[in-house]
Structure 1
């Protein structure tokens, strides 16, 4: 694992290389190739170096982080062409990748916490430095304070756990903490990060104000930090979790349904995609909270699928925004007349978002439905509503933006560049091809 950390350190001068924007992209791809050689199909840690190591869960999350960060550079050609501090942008991206890599590869709870919080800083810089609107500072403050309010109680509970057990290594965790306050302090930061309904208000704000790269990393990886942390730590709180988790499952499912209805009322494309993330993560939260094997594996599949699908949708929204200068669905109409080939990609990603085969979203939803229905048959009511309305808002997004009378006057006659189509293909292809190897995601336990 140290070789990847050192590689990131030595890539820092590369960020300031004149005209080296696409060379950075190639180096990220090379890093992905190297990391694929470290393939880990085991539930125990492999490739251990000091307190870094990977099992299947962290391997998949690191691979997703590398992939999304690579595509973030490809999506941000506007920053390179306008020379808007592209070197600092690449440096921020590298620091963000470093923090995410260390978060997922950590085998120690305190190191995990340290980098979990550190990843907030480069994300904040991305939003405030390269965001679109003046409200981006308010969005950054929302993001900062929502996360900080949850993270300080977690730090205290980590100190308590170390005082009680004398170790913070994941390998030596066992379920011996049996009181509610510890459970609440330890999980609330992950619930904010996922985000769970009630603590989700920072997400639409952050997405709407963030540049395309910020939206991609937020949807693709940052939301997954909450699910990853909960999967790791739920095992030490099982005595409390079996009694209390019911509350969070209900909030996740009912909140997912409410948010699906909110999606149908959105006029901003990015806000619609952001709210749909809350609904999908509500399902993943329910799967983790059931504490069974189906739920954990289903949440992992859903997190990977949502990361690729949501990131691709934000890329599509940005492609329209760059041409029209607006994200409003009232202005983004009749796009099928202007860019029919791009309309195909809108359809492919919208269908994946509503869990149509052969996307990984379908596999994730099937596993999570199995998990939640086996926990309680009454979950079926809200699961069916969430599934139906996810199809409704995905079709709403596609039909409203592609059909209708075209808004004339501002639209350029560009049919899309090869870079944009490659970017969308690299989101869609793994999303739909990985379902052929779905058993890969069920080896972790």
Structure 2
């Protein structure tokens, strides 16, 4: 694991040389393929070095992080063309990737907390530095304070655990079980805010709407997954408390997911709609993790990876439209089928993946999550039914609204999709639908 860290650190000087934008991307592609060929033992921790290790859960999420960072560079060509601080942008992305890589691969719970919080700084720089609207400062503050407010109890909880256990290695946690309510809430809250759970989700749509395309991609693609990863790692300590209290979070999540699915129909901003749909999907993931059964763990992992690719792709599409029309309003982005007919295929493919149509990973994830929640309590069936139905509903609503109708007459010049954009969408959609072939790996990691 150390070799990849060194590779990323040695890529930092490249960011400050002239005309290295695509070179950095190629180096990341190279690293991606090295990482893909890593020998990974599905059942246990492997590739152990002094402080880092990799199991199936870390492996998938690190792979997702590298992939999303590569695609962020590809989607942000306009920064390079306009010379809008591209060097600092690349540096920011490499630093963010290092933080994410370390978050997913460290074994020490305190180091995990440290990198978990550090990744926030670089995302904040992305939103404030390259965002579009003047409200981005406010969105950044929302993002910062929501996350930091919930994270301090997590730090204190980690110190308490260290005091009791004398070690905080993630691997050894399965030998302990704490029956403490306050510790349970303090350890879990930071991850629920990051996911985000309904009631503490308000920072997410705001941050998405103000962020540049790369900011939205990393937020949807990887940042939300930090919460899920943390929950999957930490909940093993709280099995007794979990049996009593997890029901609260499952109910909040499922009701919130249903309510937010309805809220998606009220949105007039494309990015805002996609952001709310993210929260609705993540609510199912929280429900699945909280049931603490095998199907829930598997399903949450698969849906996290599927949603990371799908949501990121949809933000790319929204940005492609935004670069043409300079607006994200649904009223202005109409009749796109007449203007960009080939792009409407990609809208359709990513929308269908978003509503969990086969053969996407989202389908497999949702089937597992539905299985886990219904086996936990059959009454959850009704809310799951509504969430699934409305998720198809708002995906179709968004697709038909943008593609059909009369196009806005204020458009005075227009150009079709570029090959870079088609490649970008292809690289989101292919892994999302090809990975279903290797679903057996996902199903036996735990």
Partner of 2:434 in structure 1? 433
Q: Which moved more, 1:409-418 or 1:55-64?
A: 409-418
Partner of 2:320 in structure 1? 319
Aligned residues of 1:123 and 1:214 also touching (Cα < 8 A): yes
Whole-angstrom CA distance in 2 between matches of 1:417 and 1:197? 38
Aligned residues of 1:323 and 1:411 also touching (Cα < 8 A): no
Aligned residues of 2:162 and 2:168 also touching (Cα < 8 A): yes
Deviations 1:2-21 (A, max 9, x none): 11111111101100121110
Partner of 1:120 in structure 2? 120
Aligned residues of 1:150 and 1:192 also touching (Cα < 8 A): yes
Whole-angstrom CA distance in 2 between matches of 1:171 and 1:137? 39
Displacement after TM superposition at 1:322 (Å):
0.2
- Structure 2 stretches lacking a partner, 5+ long: none
Whole-angstrom CA distance in 1 between matches of 2:299 and 2:177? 26
Aligned residues of 1:312 and 1:349 also touching (Cα < 8 A): yes
Whole-angstrom CA distance in 2 between matches of 1:281 and 1:13? 37
Map 1:327-342 onto structure 2 (within 5 A): 327-342=328-343
Whole-angstrom CA distance in 2 between matches of 1:202 and 1:154? 19
Aligned residues of 1:324 and 1:411 also touching (Cα < 8 A): no
Whole-angstrom CA distance in 1 between matches of 2:413 and 2:298? 45
Secondary structure of residue in 1 paired with 2:53: strand
Partner of 1:263 in structure 2? 264
Map 1:9-158 onto structure 2 (within 5 A): 9-158=9-158
Whole-angstrom CA distance in 2 between matches of 1:265 and 1:443? 40
Aligned residues of 1:175 and 1:238 also touching (Cα < 8 A): no
CA RMSD of superposed structures (Å): 0.7
Moved over 4 A (4+): none
Whole-angstrom CA distance in 1 between matches of 2:88 and 2:262? 39
Map 1:30-429 onto structure 2 (within 5 A): 30-173=30-173, 174-410=175-411, 412-429=413-430
Whole-angstrom CA distance in 2 between matches of 1:145 and 1:211? 20
Aligned residues of 2:42 and 2:441 also touching (Cα < 8 A): no
Secondary structure of residue in 2 paired with 1:176: coil
Displacement after TM superposition at 1:39 (Å):
3.7
Secondary structure of residue in 2 paired with 1:196: coil
Whole-angstrom CA distance in 1 between matches of 2:357 and 2:38? 32
Secondary structure of residue in 2 paired with 1:30: helix
Whole-angstrom CA distance in 2 between matches of 1:180 and 1:411? 61
Displacement after TM superposition at 1:45 (Å):
1.1
Displacement after TM superposition at 1:411 (Å):
5.2
Whole-angstrom CA distance in 2 between matches of 1:41 and 1:304? 19
- Structure 1 stretches lacking a partner, 5+ long: none
Whole-angstrom CA distance in 1 between matches of 2:413 and 2:188? 48
Whole-angstrom CA distance in 2 between matches of 1:356 and 1:328? 26
Displacement after TM superposition at 1:408 (Å):
1.8
Whole-angstrom CA distance in 2 between matches of 1:149 and 1:157? 14
Whole-angstrom CA distance in 1 between matches of 2:360 and 2:41? 22
Whole-angstrom CA distance in 1 between matches of 2:394 and 2:39? 37
Displacement after TM superposition at 1:165 (Å):
0.4
Whole-angstrom CA distance in 2 between matches of 1:263 and 1:357? 23
Q: Which moved more, 1:411-420 or 1:52-61?
A: 411-420
Deviations 1:122-174 (A, max 9, x none): 00000000000000000000000000011000000100000000010011113
Aligned residues of 1:287 and 1:295 also touching (Cα < 8 A): yes
Aligned residues of 1:41 and 1:440 also touching (Cα < 8 A): no
Whole-angstrom CA distance in 2 between matches of 1:276 and 1:138? 22
Displacement after TM superposition at 1:40 (Å):
1.8
Displacement after TM superposition at 1:41 (Å):
3.8
Aligned residues of 1:356 and 1:362 also touching (Cα < 8 A): yes
Whole-angstrom CA distance in 1 between matches of 2:259 and 2:414? 39
Q: TM-score, normalised by structure 2?
A: 0.99
Secondary structure of residue in 1 paired with 2:48: strand
Aligned residues of 2:132 and 2:210 also touching (Cα < 8 A): yes
